[in-house]
Structure 1
Amino acid sequence: MTFTISPAIKQCWPETALGLLLYQVQVAPSSPQLLAQFDQTVASLAQQYTLDTIAKHPHIAATRQAYKALGASPHEHRNAAEAMLRRVVKQAGLYHINNVVEVNNLISISSGYAIGSYDLDQLQGQVVLACPPAGARYEGIGKGSLSIAHMPVLTDDLGPFGNPSSDSRRAMIQPGLRRVASVLYAFDGAEGLVPWMQAFEEALRTHCGVSSVTQQRIE
């Protein structure tokens, strides 16, 4: 299985890139150590940001600009990093789901990159980041039917399944032994991905017992 970016996306927003981590993991409730680190990071970021400064973070700002260029409203479709940081600043808290999702969200709010983690066994064929046609929708995790038109969306042979704002239910991470692809969505080039992909791998090894991770940058 390969991950690529469609020529149409690259033409519209040349700085689009993906950071890809592939690994096998036992998905389970998060350890007390992971939850403590997660909650400590949330508390720290709540003091660091205001609602006005979140949108100025370079990675978040680039994502918002890319959305506009593709024809999507960054206000109606807030990218996941921005949406979570807004909850953090509002003291609304973030949900605890499982070890992989906690690591996903920890790195996302720390880096400003929207990140999605997907069950590889629920995907078929090759994966492309592309813009679906007008009227395209899918069932979002906890959000019902979502419009994904004009969005940068990961699509396989079965159709669209993930984007920087909200992922579909099809490839969501559930408990058990899983093969997972975690995708960092970058819209300001690939260079900044390197330290955060490494941080993601280290967190997987520390908190999820992952022994082997394959990293790729896709431009």
Structure 2
Amino acid sequence: MEIILSSQLKELIPGFKTGIIEYKNIMVGESPQMLKGRLQMFQESIYFDLENKNVTELSGIQEWRSIFKLTGKDPNRYRPSSEALYRRIKKKNFLPSVQSAIDLNNFFSLQYQVPIGIYDSDHLCGPITIRIGSNDEEYTGLNGRINSLSDLIISTDINGPFGSPFVDSEKTPVTEDTRNALQIIYLTPSTDEENALKLTRSLMEMFIQIHGGEGTFKVMGCD
């Protein structure tokens, strides 16, 4: 699938990059106990680490809040999805196990403090463009609300926006019926190319270990 990073986005945010993973012939279902256990233990560790610290002191969260400010979105009203996860954990509102793809997304998002989106690619029609949303764009998100996409980084196909590091659309969620998927890792600009590739490959390999199938990956924005 063709993926395009808009020139406006690259000019506005120097070093902006994304990890892109495409999966084929996967099987999504209940998370294995290994993943459930690691997700629970990691959340408990984060909770204790945040006892005397604000979420906004974390470097990855700080960087993504600054990105939202650069695009013109107030990060106090529109929080990066990774920050929202951390805020839940600080309140001891731990994330329950949902299903294998979502649990793994959450685990890596917490581990690297970055938003990550995963989408059923059979519901997408390329090319995919990652750009800044305009004033008239909106969608119903997985949060159940109609969300304005103005000044947010968004992912779009020919049918319109479907994803964002704020909240994803309800149009393309990965479910137990999903067989092919697209995963977008919204990396921090400070992540160098070597570590960006390492992180993206690590997520792909663990995803395939759990879900089977095949995967290909690349990092965009390192040119």
Q: Name the TM-score class by shorter chain.
A: over 0.9
1:4 partner amino acid:
I
Q: Which residue of 2 aligns with 1:131?
A: 132
Indicate yes or no: 2:163 matched with 1:162. Answer: yes
Which blocks of at least 5 consecutive residues in structure 1 are unaligned? none
1:2 partner amino acid:
E
Q: Hey, what's the Cα distance between the residues in 1 that align with 2:155 and 2:104?
A: 21
Q: CA deviation at 1:119?
A: 0.7
**145-154 vs 25-34, which deviates more?**
25-34
Give SS of 2:27's match: strand
Q: CA deviation at 1:77?
A: 1.1
Give SS of 1:27's match: coil
Give SS of 1:116's match: strand
Q: Hey, what's the Cα distance between the residues in 2 that align with 1:51 and 1:139?
A: 36
Q: CA deviation at 1:194?
A: 2.7
Q: Hey, what's the Cα distance between the residues in 1 that align with 2:51 and 2:35?
A: 25
1:1-219 superposed matches below 5 A = 1-24=1-24, 25-50=26-51, 52-191=53-192, 192-208=195-211, 210-219=212-221
Q: CA deviation at 1:177?
A: 4.2
Q: Hey, what's the Cα distance between the residues in 2 that align with 1:51 and 1:7?
A: 41
Q: In the superposition, relative to structure 1, how do residues 198 and 57 fare at CA in structure 2: closer, same or farther (>3 Å)?
A: farther
Q: CA deviation at 1:21?
A: 1.2
Q: CA deviation at 1:39?
A: 0.6
Q: CA deviation at 1:211?
A: 4.3
Give SS of 1:78's match: coil
**110-119 vs 176-185, which deviates more?**
176-185
* Contact 1:51–1:86 (8 Å) recurs in 2: no
Q: In the superposition, relative to structure 1, how do residues 36 and 213 fare at CA in structure 2: closer, same or farther (>3 Å)?
A: same
Q: CA deviation at 1:59?
A: 2.4
Which blocks of at least 5 consecutive residues in structure 2 are unaligned? none
1:181 partner amino acid:
L
Q: Hey, what's the Cα distance between the residues in 2 that align with 1:42 and 1:160?
A: 31
* Contact 2:143–2:167 (8 Å) recurs in 1: no
- Report percent identity of matched pairs: 22
Q: Hey, what's the Cα distance between the residues in 2 that align with 1:37 and 1:92?
A: 17
Q: CA deviation at 1:205?
A: 3.1
Q: CA deviation at 1:190?
A: 4.9
Q: Hey, what's the Cα distance between the residues in 2 that align with 1:6 and 1:125?
A: 15
Query: Could you list the runs of 4 or more consecutive aligned residues of structure 1 that deviate by over 3 angstroms after TM superposition?
Result: 50-53
* Contact 1:18–1:190 (8 Å) recurs in 2: no
Q: Hey, what's the Cα distance between the residues in 1 that align with 2:170 and 2:204?
A: 24
Q: Hey, what's the Cα distance between the residues in 2 that align with 1:141 and 1:170?
A: 9
How far does the alpha carbon of each residue in 1:133-159 deviate from its partner, in whole angstroms, 9 at most, with x for none?
A: 113210101322111110000011000
